[in-house]
């Protein structure tokens, strides 16, 4: 991999989060660089989901500092994080099953018609929203044009994941966090979603990928952040290490070279 | 994890693709296309119903009008009789609109009838007991309905109490307040028409030949049309569906679920108050004992109208078709001269069938 010369887009320093006597985050650090796919792995209870929640606004850390493009940020809710450009695709996808694909993509940020109809009658601009949704899905190769007004519940698991990822990628977002995007999918659909993730990166949006699936992580990630005991143990390049090394670091069976040196 | 598992992991090839993924090399490369495979006619019908939730009640309505028309001939199939049905369902239709909003959020409102009656009593008593101008009294009645709905909304959204329990309690509280406040006293129709005709506004009518459209009927049609527009063509309306469908998903997508619930229940209360005003027009007097069954009748209309009690699915047009189906059955069977119990029996069958059909349609998602 080429050495990264640019500044990280999203950083966290010294994050601490305690739940009673349990310390979920113990001075954790995090760095995401522009245009990369950063996988986050860690054993259950290592605190990786607490860290991701802190970054996506779902929890507020007790200590530490998060910066987006150099600016210190303090999110109180996922909505605030989203407004700042950090989109999270949750494991349950946060789609409304009975609403259409277009309605779901614009849920909470609907477009209104220009002029009197929009201003006074609050009329939604259906055609513009449908066109936008169709364009975004096509851009990601998600669409052999079909009915954009189809209810999301009539789609397969992979297609739903596709809609959720397209929604995250559609609104000028700066960072996309994907939480276990392939966990609920079959082999074939996982493959398609991985291709989709690579497509999103090609469009220049950096991705944080949380996954338990080592082969998937090693296939698409540019760097792998290994979380252990509430903090970042190390970041490895998947080309320099094997999956068994990664698992060994994750579980504490082995220590990475720099950790030994330090 | 132990060394053994690490070693077994190590024996796997560290290549990107896993062994079992090799079969994929020959599979389709599209990311996620939409299925276009042929469906059987029944599946197509199921999909059609899934995308047009008001279709079933509309079909049932047209069929029942046709059947009663054939049996009864001109006695049923006249402009007078058909508009009479509209007059009879006007109140249920307006209350049903309020009920629709709440049921779309996966809630239920048992207090709609009580809110309606209390609002009508407030309109009447404020005029006759305190001598307020009728306009002011009507506004106070509307405000009273909205306040009752607002309290329901607060209890459901902020206190996180189940809507069934909240509105069951509010039903009793509001109905008791109604009797306590009015001292169970009816304001006579002739007093209202001589001193405050505004209260009977919705009893006025337009005659087109033998067709009679009361203002109450016109109000119901306009209200349903307005709510149909709001539910389908505004962000607020889409959020009503999203909140009923999956509140957690809606919240994560950026919908303020609590504020939505409070606004929906408040609007529902306001619509019930409007129904209370229309009720004075319908029965002429202000009676604290009127409209006892409005809550059950409105839920019946909503359910027969194909709106799912699990929230997020259905059209307000279905509700009006549901109310009309009940109206057609009641009047049609009465004209035939059967025991009125047959009406209730058939409505019971309709309710159960409607919910069974709803369950079947929702399987389309499988």
Nearest CA in chain A to B7: A244
What are the structural domain ranges in chain B?
55-360
pLDDT at B45: 80
B131: Cβ contacts below 8 Å, ≥ 6 apart: none
- For A1-32, how does the pLDDT look when each residue is reduced to its tens digit (9 = 90+)? 445 568 899 999 999 999 888 888 999 999 99
Segment A245-255 shows an average pLDDT of 87
Across the interface, which of B50, B252, B254 has its CB nearest the CB of A90? Answer: B252
pLDDT at A192: 81
- ipTM value for the complex: 0.79
Interhelix angle B41-51/B55-72, rounded to 10 degrees, is 100
Reply yes or no on whether the pLDDT at A143 is more than 60: no
Q: What is the pTM of this model?
A: 0.84
B112: Cβ contacts below 8 Å, ≥ 6 apart: B95, B98, B99, B268, B272, B275, B294, B295, B298
Distance from CA of B204 to the nearest CA of A (A): 29
Nearest CA in chain B to A143: B33
Q: Find, among B182, B308, B171, the residue nearest to B245 by Cα.
A: B308
Q: Chain B interface, mutation test: which of A108, A122, A144, A228, most B Cβ atoms within 10 Å?
A: A108
pLDDT at B315: 93
Topology of the domain comprising B55-360: ABC transporter involved in vitamin B12 uptake, BtuC (1.10.3470)
Reply yes or no on whether the pLDDT at A205 is more than 80: yes
Distance from CA of B232 to the nearest CA of A (A): 9
pLDDT at A259: 57
DSSP string for B48-100:
HHHH-TTHHHHHHHHHHHHHHHHHHGGGTSSHHHHHHHHHHHHHHHHHHHHHH
CA atoms within 13 A on the CB side of A157: 13
- Contact B153/B267 with Cβ under 8 angstroms? no
Q: How high does pLDDT run on average in chain A?
A: 85
pLDDT at A180: 86
Note the Cα B228 to chain centre separation in Å. 11
Angle at Cα B215 formed by Cα B210 and Cα B327, nearest 5°? 70
DSSP string for A44-60:
TTSSHHHHHHHHHTSS-
Across the interface, which of B9, B241, B250 has its CB nearest the CB of A243? Answer: B9
Cβ pair B235:A124 closer than 8 A: yes
Cβ pair A187:B365 closer than 8 A: no
Nearest CA in chain A to B311: A98
Written as tens digits, the pLDDT of chain B (366 aa) is 334 433 344 334 334 455 555 555 555 545 444 455 566 788 778 778 777 888 889 999 999 999 999 999 888 888 899 999 999 999 999 999 999 999 999 999 999 999 999 999 999 999 999 999 999 999 999 999 999 999 999 999 999 999 999 999 999 999 999 999 999 999 999 999 999 999 999 999 998 888 899 999 999 999 999 999 999 999 999 999 999 999 988 988 888 899 999 999 999 999 999 999 999 999 999 999 998 899 999 999 999 999 999 988 899 999 999 999 999 999 999 999 888 899 899 999 999 998 888 888 877 654
Which residues in chain A are closer than 8 Å to B47, comparing Cβ atoms?
A: 154
Nearest CA in chain B to A248: B6
Q: Chain A interface, mutation test: which of B32, B225, B254, most A Cβ atoms within 10 Å?
A: B32
Q: Who wins on pLDDT, B14 or A148? A: A148
Q: Who wins on pLDDT, B40 or A217? A: A217
Predicted confidence band at A125 (pLDDT cuts at 50, 70, 90)? confident
Distance from CA of A215 to the nearest CA of B (A): 6
DSSP H stretches of helix in A29-185: 48-56, 78-83, 101-105, 115-121, 126-139, 157-170
Cα end-to-end distance, chain A, whole Å:
24
Across the interface, which of B2, B17, B242 has its CB nearest the CB of A99? Answer: B242
Which residues in chain A are closer than 8 Å to B24, comparing Cβ atoms?
A: 187-188, 191
pLDDT at A146: 63
Backbone CA torsion sign across A217, A219, A220, A225: positive
Residues facing residue A178 across a β-bridge = A89, A209
Q: Find, among A215, A164, A221, A160, the residue nearest to A187 by Cα.
A: A215
- Contact B61/B328 with Cβ under 8 angstroms? yes
Across the interface, which of B1, B47, B246 has its CB nearest the CB of A96? Answer: B246
Per-residue tokens: B284: 């002429």
Q: Chain A interface, mutation test: which of B10, B13, B31, most A Cβ atoms within 10 Å?
A: B31
Segment A128-135 shows an average pLDDT of 86
Cβ pair A146:B33 closer than 8 A: yes
Segment A121-144 shows an average pLDDT of 80
pLDDT at B2: 39
Instruction: Enumerate domains of chain A plus CATH numbers.
Output: 1-85+176-188+205-256 (3.40.50.300), 93-172 (no CATH)
Which residues in chain B are closer than 8 Å to A43, comparing Cβ atoms?
A: 1
Backbone CA torsion sign across B263, B268, B271, B277: negative
């Amino acid at each position: 991999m080429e050495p990264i010369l640019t500044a990280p887009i999203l950083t966290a320093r010294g994050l601490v989060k305690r739940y009673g006597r349990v310390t979920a985050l113990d001075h954790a650090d995090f760095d995401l660089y522009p245009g990369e796919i950063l996988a986050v792995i860690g054993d259950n209870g290592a605190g990786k989901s607490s860290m991701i929640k802190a970054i996506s606004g779902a929890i507020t850390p007790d200590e530490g500092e998060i910066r987006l493009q150099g600016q210190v940020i303090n999110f109180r809710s996922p909505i605030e994080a989203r407004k700042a450009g950090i989109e999270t695709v949750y494991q349950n996808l946060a789609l409304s099953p009975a609403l259409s694909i277009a309605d779901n993509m614009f849920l909470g940020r609907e477009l209104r018609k220009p002029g009197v109809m929009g201003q006074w009658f609050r009329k939604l601009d259906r055609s513009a929203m449908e066109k936008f949704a169709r364009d975004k899905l096509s851009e990601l190769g998600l669409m052999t044009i079909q009915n954009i007004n189809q209810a999301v519940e009539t789609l397969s698991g992979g297609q739903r994941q596709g809609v959720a990822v397209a929604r995250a990628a559609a609104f000028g977002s700066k960072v996309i966090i994907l939480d276990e995007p392939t966990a609920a999918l079959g082999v074939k659909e996982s493959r398609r979603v991985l291709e989709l993730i690579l497509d999103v990166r090609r469009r220049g949006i950096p991705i944080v990928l949380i996954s338990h699936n080592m082969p998937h992580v090693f296939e698409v990630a540019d760097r792998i952040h290994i979380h252990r005991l509430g903090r970042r143990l190390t970041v490895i390049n998947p080309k320099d290490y094997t999956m068994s090394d990664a698992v060994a670091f994750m579980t504490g069976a082995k220590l990475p070279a720099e950790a030994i040196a330090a | 994890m132990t060394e053994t598992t690490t070693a077994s992991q190590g024996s796997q090839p560290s290549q990107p693709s896993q062994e079992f993924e090799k079969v994929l090399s020959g599979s389709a490369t599209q990311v996620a296309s939409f299925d276009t495979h042929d469906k059987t006619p029944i599946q197509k019908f199921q999909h059609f119903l899934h995308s047009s939730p008001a279709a079933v009640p509309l079909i049932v309505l047209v069929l029942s009008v046709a059947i009663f028309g054939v049996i009864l001939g001109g006695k049923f199939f006249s402009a007078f009789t058909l508009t009479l049905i509209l007059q009879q369902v006007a109140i249920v239709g307006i209350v049903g609109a309020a009920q629709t909003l709440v049921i779309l959020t996966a809630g239920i409102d048992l207090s709609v009838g009580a809110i309606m009656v209390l609002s009508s009593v407030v309109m009447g008593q404020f005029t006759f007991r305190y001598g307020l101008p009728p306009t002011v009294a009507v506004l106070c009645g509307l405000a009273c309905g909205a306040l009752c709905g607002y309290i329901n909304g607060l209890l459901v959204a902020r206190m996180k109490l189940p809507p069934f329990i909240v509105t069951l309690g509010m039903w009793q509280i509001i109905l008791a307040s109604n009797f306590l406040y009015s001292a169970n006293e009816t304001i006579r129709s002739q007093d209202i028409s001589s001193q405050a005709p505004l209260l009977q506004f919705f009893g006025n009518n337009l005659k087109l030949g033998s067709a009679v459209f009361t203002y109450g009927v016109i109000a119901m049609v306009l209200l349903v049309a307005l709510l149909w527009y709001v539910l389908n063509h505004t962000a607020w309306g889409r959020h009503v569906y999203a909140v009923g469908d999956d509140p957690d998903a809606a919240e994560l997508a950026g919908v303020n679920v609590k504020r939505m619930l409070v606004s929906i229940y408040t609007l529902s209360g306001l619509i019930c108050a409007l129904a209370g005003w229309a009720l004075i027009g319908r029965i002429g007097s202000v009676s604290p004992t009127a409209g006892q069954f409005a809550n059950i009748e409105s839920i019946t209309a909503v359910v027969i109208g194909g709106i799912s009690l699990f929230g997020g699915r259905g059209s307000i047009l279905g509700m009006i078709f549901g109310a009309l189906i009940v109206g057609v059955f009641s009047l049609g069977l009465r004209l035939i001269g059967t025991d009125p119990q047959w009406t209730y029996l058939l409505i019971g069958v309709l309710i159960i069938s409607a919910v069974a059909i709803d369950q079947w349609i929702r399987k389309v998602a499988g």
